[in-house]
């Protein structure tokens, strides 16, 4: 039996895309915050990780680029935030950092735009973008 991992699949797709569109020096990091459910061994491992600094509710991804920090919590289309994740979100936002709940690649890209993080795709010359937009709306070339 294959275990379905929709959030992991979404997260892998997001990471792949961000590695392409963010500046080359951007850092995209997943904090392995969970050990899994069940038994005494899992509880012991979680206790060890907590002692080492694992923070309950920490976001799935942290993006560092251009002096900015954005935390991304990845959820499936029907996924919900846990109380620990809500508390983490509130603490991060209160400190002035960006945080977003994302369910798709598009959500992740929108979150970056919403937090003023420019991707390589957005970074093309603004005049060139304006000309391309103007040219697309007319049959005549308006910019040189």
pLDDT of residue 101: 98
pLDDT given at position 52: 85
Q: Write down all domains in the chain, each with its CATH number in brackets.
A: 6-136 (3.40.1350.10)
Residue 115, helix vs strand vs coil: coil
The answer to whether the beta carbons of residues 87 and 129 sit under 8 Å apart is no
**So what's the pLDDT on residue 56?**
86
pLDDT score, position 28: 98
Mean pLDDT by 10 residues, the chain (144 residues): 75 96 96 73 81 89 97 96 96 97 96 91 52 43 45
pLDDT at site 35:
61
CA nearest 70: which of 37, 92, 46? 92
- Say how far apart CA 56 and CA 35 lie, in whole Å: 12
């Amino acid at each position: 039996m294959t275990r379905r991992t929709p959030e992991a699949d979404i997260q892998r797709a997001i990471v792949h895309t961000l590695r392409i569109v963010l500046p080359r020096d951007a850092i995209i990091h997943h904090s392995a915050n969970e050990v899994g459910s069940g038994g005494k061994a899992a509880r012991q491992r979680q206790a060890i990780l907590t002692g080492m600094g694992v923070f309950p509710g920490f976001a799935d991804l942290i993006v560092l680029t251009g002096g900015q920090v954005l935390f991304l919590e990845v959820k499936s289309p029907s996924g919900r935030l846990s109380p620990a994740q809500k508390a983490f979100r509130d603490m991060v936002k209160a400190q002035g950092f960006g945080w977003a709940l994302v369910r798709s690649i598009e959500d992740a890209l929108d979150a970056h735009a919403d937090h003023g993080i420019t991707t390589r795709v957005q970074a093309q010359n603004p005049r060139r973008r304006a000309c391309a937009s103007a040219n697309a709306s007319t049959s005549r070339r308006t910019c040189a």
